[in-house]
Amino acid sequence: MKKLSIVIPVYYNELSLPLLFTELLEIEKKLRSKNVELELIFVDDGSGDNSLHELLKIKKQHKNTKVIKLTRNFGVVHASKIGIQFVTGDCFLILAADLQDPPSIIPEMVDRWINGVKFVVCVREERDDPIVSKIFSNIYYKLIRYFVIKDYPIGGFDMALMDRDLLPYLLNSSKSLYTPVLIYWLGFKPEILPYKRQKRTQGRSRWTFRKKIIAAIDSILGFSVAPLRLASLIGIMVSLGSFIYAAWILINAVLGRTEVPGFATIAVLISFLTGVIIFILSVIGEYLWRIFIEINKRPESVIDEIY
* pLDDT confidence of residue 22: 94
pLDDT band at 305 (very low <50, low <70, confident <90, very high): very high
Q: Number of helices and strands (H, E) in the chain?
A: 10, 8
Per the CB < 8 A criterion, the answer to whether 165 and 124 are in contact is no
DSSP-assigned states of every residue in 149-190: -TTS-TT--SEEEEEGGGHHHHHT--TT--HHHHHHHT-PPP
The phi, psi pair for 92, rounded to 5°, reads -155, 160
* pLDDT confidence of residue 152: 86
| Domain boundaries along the sequence of the chain | 2-208, 226-295
SS3 72: coil
**Centroid of chain to Cα 1:** 32
**Number of CB atoms found within 10 A of residue 155's CB:** 16
Nearest to 303 by CA among 40, 62, 78: 78
Per the CB < 8 A criterion, the answer to whether 121 and 33 are in contact is no
Distance between CA atoms of 218 and 173, rounded to whole angstroms?
13
SS3 196: strand
Each residue of 240-274: pLDDT tens digit? 887 787 777 777 777 777 665 566 677 777 777 88
* Average pLDDT of the chain to the nearest whole number: 85
Task: From residue 226, give the alpha-carbon distance in Å to each of 99, 144, 147, 283, 286.
Answer: 36, 11, 6, 11, 13
pTM of the model: 0.79
Cα Rg of the chain, angstroms: 25
Per the CB < 8 A criterion, the answer to whether 79 and 9 are in contact is yes
**Number of CB atoms found within 10 A of residue 16's CB:** 21
Helices 209-221 & 226-255, crossing angle to 10 degrees? 90
Per the CB < 8 A criterion, the answer to whether 3 and 36 are in contact is yes
* CATH number at 2-208: 3.90.550.10
**Lowest-pLDDT range of 15-24, 275-284, 297-306:** 275-284
Distance between CA atoms of 84 and 280, rounded to whole angstroms?
37
Per the CB < 8 A criterion, the answer to whether 207 and 11 are in contact is no
Each residue of 146-205: pLDDT tens digit? 888 888 888 778 789 999 999 999 988 887 778 888 888 898 989 989 887 777 666 666
**Lowest-pLDDT range of 69-73, 192-196, 242-246, 295-299:** 242-246
